[in-house]
Amino acid sequence: MAQRARQTAKRTTGERAGLSRAAVLDGALALADRYGLGALSMRRLADALGVEAMTLYHYIPSKDALLDGMIERVFTQAAPPPSADGEAWTTQLRRYAFSLRETLLAHPGILPVVLSRPAATAETFQTVEGALALLVRAGFELGAALNALNVLTVFVTGHTVAEASIGNSADDPGSAAALDETDETDYPLLTEAARTGRGTDDAERFVFGVDALLAGLAVVARPGTRRTGG
């Protein structure tokens, strides 16, 4: 009994609260999603988790590290699971793209910085390493593999950021309602698109973009393909 009591006494405040690095990052994401990234602070996060602010520094050393960890958490959660034998690289990257979009849309609080702040953490590097290994095994040259992964990730991220912030209001210039008010004589194709809804659905556009990118990558990134500047 005495030994068990000593072991319990040695546990940190964070451990007694059931904290872990992942729990801290998930708590930060939840707080940012609810109140916005500007409202996130170490003190407010500590209050939400029921611990002292200093306890958080055992898991996250700074506010910058917290932001990096939040972005890391989103991207690693979207990482593709181990592939089935014989599964095509296009199938795996397509799954990653859809998972990343879904995860980003579930965490709108991180969207303001997700494009401008690439996370440089060990966990993120491990995720990238796995994706590069997948493409290299599929026959990509290393540089082409990194380019392919970056192009796909930037497209998914940029599309999702735009999707979450543009076109959600009838007053937005690119909304279907706004297009519907254009002059049919001057813009017959735009007005037809607005009237029929063709090309105005975010999810449909996303599928189109991902499939077009993967089809293009299968051609331009294959071994032996020469690329020149424009």
* CA dihedral sign of residues 12, 16, 22, 27: negative
Residues in the chain: 230
Q: Is residue 40 within 8 Å of 28, Cβ to Cβ?
A: yes
Share of the chain above pLDDT 90, in %: 53
What is residue 45's predicted lDDT score, i.e. its pLDDT? 95
Contacts of 93 (CB under 8 A, 6+ apart): 80, 131, 134, 148, 149, 152, 214
- DSSP single-letter state for residue 81: P
**pLDDT score at 93:** 94
Structure tokens at 37: 């990234």
Tell me 121's DSSP state: -
Residue 5 identity: A
Task: List, for residues 57-66, the tens digit of each pLDDT value.
Answer: 999 999 999 9
How far the first Cα of the chain sits from its last, in Å, is: 75
Can you list the domains of the chain with their CATH numbers? 1-61 (1.10.10.60), 76-165+200-230 (1.10.357.10)
Q: Which residue ranges in the chain fall short of pLDDT 50? A: 1-11, 16, 167, 173, 229-230
- pLDDT at position 16 is 45
Quick: pLDDT tens for 145-165.
999 999 999 999 999 999 887
